[in-house]
Structure formats: structure tokens, C-alpha cells
Structure 1
């Protein structure tokens, strides 16, 4: 086996090195996407750094007085094809000093908070800017000239309504967007309420990013499934006892009690917590009006989460399905160790695949399988060592 270099300047080079070492299987589809990302890396390296005298100095290519126009990239395809891995490589190599990688729901929660604060400033007479979107976009761009979204998805009407206005501002400033998704842009927010208000964003996206599909024939996440005993089914006394035993082992038998997580003037109720472990029922998390920001707060506070008694989810539980998707996304992105007791296996949990939830739930299924793997446990342990 050839040694893996500590640093490579391109995504293609890193994929080749990992394949040569036997860590990865050579994949032509991944290499094609990597080549497009490397083109963006080259363009980013060939731009002038920002000068104090000009906030937009970095927008100009070397030796040119013309503003640069770097097209971003939108990569979509089925779950488990390596989109997240390639995004990791790209983001680490991007030379732009101001860059941000975020889960889409986390980013939009930040946007809504900033808009709220801007409106409060208007009420307090601290600004005369009635439209909060331009100053919010300017502040976001000042922090991140390159935005990377992993698993881009739109499920919330408030997000859908603001995206076109927000990114019109961001793109005009020179923001470069790179995103991965399970669906093509035309299928974003499909069947969503008042989708007509969202459609302009799809056209805007097409003007500023190239769209490519990653259609590798192999689902690498499923290959990594190690079937660790953290997902228990069916729902019976045996599963309850196994969850209880797992909870006792994780907490070392320490005392557990309810806690309240403060959240924007309210609180999130945690039925049982011990150290950095929390225990909920499905009802606690998905049958109450919680949103993506709540799940992100839980993922930030705890590194082990138990979710008990997840039922089979039919068409009548559309809201619960949306919340469960967001919950798993938040826990996965923070490498939280997840213990679940459920009525069925992940791939049988949703009784009917329809609309946006059907697309989104495919990702949830894949992540639930991956969260049982030995590789995911390694990521979880690395995270715990950093806390």
C-alpha cells in the first residue's frame, strides 16, 4: 500500500491517494465531482485577498480590474454515495479565509435570529433600515465568503419564502455556494405550502451554481453498517430491558433527573439527563412543537441521546415525520451516539414514501444505519475527546 500524504492540494489527489492505500474503492463518479470542486479551489486561490481599504477587494482576480464570478456547485444524488466525504475534503482545502460550513437548518436558524435582531434594532431606533434582509446578508458575507451546505433541504415555509431574497443579496456580494443534497434543485420544497414563493430561488440557484449528480452505484454507508446493539426492535419488554441496561451502562449508574435547556425565552424539557447523556421518548421529541433549532441545542448539550418507543409512521403523522428527520440530522451532524427502540427497522419505519418527506426520509434511513456502525462510533469518541 502507498502511504497517504498528509496534505494534498486537490480533492482528486486525495481520493486517488486513499484509493491507492486501500482505504477507499476507486469511484469514477466521485472523481468527476472532485474535478469540479478542484476547479473552484483553483479559482479561489487565484483571487486577491481582501484589503482593509476595500471590503470587496478579494472579489477581483489577480491582475484584473474586473470582479470575479466564481460559480458554485450543487451536488445531488442518492444517500451514501460519498457527498459528505468529498465536501469535507473540499472545505478543508479551500484557501478562502472566511468560509463557513453548516447544516442548512442550523444556518437558517441563524438567519432568522439575525432578522429578528435587526427588526428589534429598528424598533429601538438604532437603524433606519426597514428591510432586514440586506444588512443580514452583508453581515453573513462579512463572516463567510464561501458557504458550504451539506444535505441542502427545504421543508419550512418561512425558509422557503426568504431564500430567494437572501441569496439574491449574497450572490450580488460575491458569495460562493457549494451544496450537497439528495434531490435535484427542481425537487426542492416539492409539494410545499405556497411553493410558488420558493420557485424564484431555483432559477437564482441555476444562475450562480453548476448542478451535477453523484450517481455512484454503491451505497458506502450501508457497507459500513456494523449492526452494533444500539437500535432495538420490536417494541416489547425485551427491548425496554435492553434500553434500560444500555442507559445504566452509559451513565455508570449515576443519578439521572429532569433538566430544562434554555431556548430563546423558553426551555426544552429533558425528561432524564445524567452528565452528557439524555433520555427521551419519541413523543417527547416529535409529537411536540419542536423545530430544527431545538434539536441542534440538544445535540450541542448531549453527546449520547436515547429515544424510546419510535412507532411506525403513517401518512397521518406528517409533522412527526418532519421532526424525526430534523432530529436525526442534528444528532448525526454532531456525531451524537443514538440509542433507539422502535417498532420496525429503519427502512420499514415510514409506511408510505410521498413528496418531500419521502425523499428526506431516505437520508434518515441511511443515517440510522450508519449511526450503528463501528466507524460512526469512532467519530463519536473523537468528538467526546474534544469536549
Structure 2
């Protein structure tokens, strides 16, 4: 099935409303899928030879231009990426959250630098030298001629400083990129440290990818919630049922398949965080899993970067008897708030009644304020990521 046919089928089933921006993007993705099906990529391992010796035949099999789809939250970017990735025939291909991809890159760079010269050549070939970026990019290209990124956003200076070189190598290895973002390319890493060093990466994106804007009139994510509350009191079967209903609305997952909802694992600084339910940027946790375990700010930031919506069940009343859990909860809410994550939760009390006495009650007032703001329509309408 073509991307456009799959999109029109969803409209016919009344799962989507007609949207000119979405239709235009679907047509562009359809065109790209056709171009990729006809393309015969060269082996990634030959790219370093092409750069060394050049070659007049390089343009004879030039890869098709990729696509950068940006727009506000809930405009259907991930849905269109689903349709494209499911219906494009090129292999190998990979879809990955951009933050997860960059964590993998940094880990690969660290491992590369631990190897001696012989170890580098044994693992990456004779072209492996002191610079880890070219061999790592070549390895990525071997495993994915098409890379589909969810939510490209750049907030980390370490990412910003290597992206230009990394993507120059990826494109040099004939990797085709399709990505979604809440921001246009020119707003990536806005106001970031040493941003002038990041600008060549933006130039590279605009030179290599077509840019499509999706800012239609409907926020489909909020529309699916249909005005449902996002903070439920008290904990119990009714609240759990409501949050379950919200999860299935947000992810379009069949309720009858609830036992098959996938889980996943995040790796943060060598530690693994198990996510019991995770689908299409929506995750589900218990308070106990998030705050009774020894997690810290780096873990919560990884969760906030990875998921646009977090559902938490079982938030208890807090006080001196569970002060460690309360401190972690404060850190968690700060991270979710910083990245404009949508929070849906069930608790034993309203925000201002969660932590009323004890040595942490005063500090908790900011958390109360944020929990209240995170229920507002203005907050819910903000895009995922740090505020500009």
C-alpha cells in the first residue's frame, strides 16, 4: 500500500479528518517512498574511497532528498511517519527517537576512544583513525540506509558540537533521513551555548532535506483526549480505567489488545530503566517504580526527552515518612515540566493536599504550582521540548 492510500484509508474510516497539510506531506512521503524503491544504494563501506578519489559517477546514483516535517504538538507528524516507515520498501531501515539515537552515538564514541589502534582497525576497518565520527557514521550507514527520527530537538551542547560532522558523514555515506520536529530547522538549539558553531548543521539540513510544515487547525492529540481530565483523585479502579482509556485514545492502540502493549528499556549512563508500557511517545509508570527506586535527575530527564506524554498511577500522600520518594517526585515533576511533557496521573489527594506537613512541605509548593499549571489548556497545547 502507498503512504497516500494508507492515509486516505484512515480518513475513510473516520480515524482522521481531512487536513491539507497532512495530505501534502503524505504525497511528499509517497514520492520519497517511490524514489527509495527505485534507488540502488552503493555499499556504505565504499564511501571513504569515494571521498578519497572522487569519481565522476557519484551523481549517477545520487540518493533521493530526505524530509524534515515540523509542526506544533498533535498535528499528525508521528502518524505520518508510521505510515511512511510501514510502507517504504527500502532495507535496511530504522526508526528511532532522536534523543535515543544521540545517546547511542555518544556511547559509541566513548567505546571507540577506549580502543587502541589495532582494536579500532579490527572493528572498523583500515580507515579507522583518531577521529571516531567517520567510522561510526559508516557503521550506522551499514545498518540503516534510511533513518527515520522522531522528534529532532537539540538541547545538549555535546550533541550540538558533533551533529554537523556526524550528519556530513551520514549523508556522505548516502543515508537518507526523514525526521519530525516541533521546530523549524532554523529554531533548533535556539539560544544554545556557542550556537554559531551549530549553524552549519542547520545549513546542511536545509541543503539536504525538503522541509514540510504541518500546522493544520486541529491538535489531534488533544482532540483525542476530548476534554478528559488529566489529574484523577483518588487512586483506584475508576481512575485507572480513565487513564487506560486516555492511553488507548492517544496511541490508537486497540483496547482488546491491552495485554500486548509493548514495554521498552531506556539506558541512562549505563543503567537500565524499565518502562512497563510505551507506545508512540506515551509511557506508563507507577509512582513506586519512578520514585521508590534510586533514580536521579539524569534518569528523569531521559524520560522527559523520550516521551511527550507520561502517565503515572499510584501517587500517594507525601510526608516525612516517605521524604526520599517526595524528593524524587519533585525532581521528576521539574524534569517533565522543563520538557513540556503532558502528565496524566492518579493520586490520593489534590496537588495542594499531597504534601502538607514536614520539612519538605515548603519546597513542595513549587511542585504544587507546576502540577496545577500542567493541567491547564495553555500548558497542554505547548509542544514537547524545552521552552524557547
Q: Same fold (TM over 0.5)?
A: yes
Alignment of 1:52-201 (within 5 A): 66-122=60-116, 126-127=120-121, 129-201=129-201
- Residues 103 and 172 from structure 1, CA distance in 2 versus in 1: closer, same or farther, beyond 3 angstroms? same
SS at structure 1 position matched to 2:149: strand
CA contact (8 A) 2:44 2:173 kept: no
TM-score, normalising length: structure 2 = 0.64
TM-score, normalising length: structure 1 = 0.65
Query: Which position in structure 1 is the counterpart of 2:32?
Result: 40
Instruction: Provide structure 2 residue ranges, at least 5 long, that are not aligned to the other structure.
Output: 49-56, 122-127, 244-265, 276-284, 318-329, 352-367
Query: Which position in structure 2 is the counterpart of 1:381?
Result: none
**CA RMSD, Structure 1 to Structure 2 (Å):** 4.6
SS at structure 2 position matched to 1:242: coil
Are 1:15 and 2:3 matched, yes or no? Answer: no
Are 1:290 and 2:276 matched, yes or no? Answer: no
Instruction: Provide structure 1 residue ranges, at least 5 long, that are not aligned to the other structure.
Output: 1-7, 57-62, 233-238, 251-260, 271-275, 311-316, 366-387
Query: Which position in structure 1 is the counterpart of 2:223?
Result: 223
Please state how far the C-alpha of 1:82 moved relative to its aligned partner. Answer: 0.8
- Residues 134 and 350 from structure 1, CA distance in 2 versus in 1: closer, same or farther, beyond 3 angstroms? farther
- Residues 265 and 53 from structure 1, CA distance in 2 versus in 1: closer, same or farther, beyond 3 angstroms? closer
- Residues 116 and 339 from structure 1, CA distance in 2 versus in 1: closer, same or farther, beyond 3 angstroms? farther
Q: How far, CA to CA, are the matches of 1:219 and 1:89 in structure 2?
A: 19
Query: Which position in structure 1 is the counterpart of 2:384?
Result: 363
CA contact (8 A) 1:168 1:204 kept: yes
State the number of aligned residues. Answer: 308
Q: How far, CA to CA, are the matches of 1:268 and 1:14 in structure 2?
A: 35
Please state how far the C-alpha of 1:179 moved relative to its aligned partner. Answer: 0.7
Please state how far the C-alpha of 1:122 moved relative to its aligned partner. Answer: 3.0
- Residues 263 and 37 from structure 1, CA distance in 2 versus in 1: closer, same or farther, beyond 3 angstroms? closer
- Residues 142 and 108 from structure 1, CA distance in 2 versus in 1: closer, same or farther, beyond 3 angstroms? same
- Residues 280 and 213 from structure 1, CA distance in 2 versus in 1: closer, same or farther, beyond 3 angstroms? same
Please state how far the C-alpha of 1:217 moved relative to its aligned partner. Answer: 0.7
Please state how far the C-alpha of 1:363 moved relative to its aligned partner. Answer: 2.7
Q: How far, CA to CA, are the matches of 2:218 and 2:118 in structure 1?
A: 56
CA contact (8 A) 1:72 1:208 kept: yes
CA contact (8 A) 1:282 1:307 kept: no
Q: How far, CA to CA, are the matches of 2:107 and 2:267 in structure 1?
A: 15
Q: How far, CA to CA, are the matches of 1:222 and 1:206 in structure 2?
A: 30
CA contact (8 A) 1:11 1:35 kept: yes
Q: How far, CA to CA, are the matches of 2:199 and 2:102 in structure 1?
A: 18
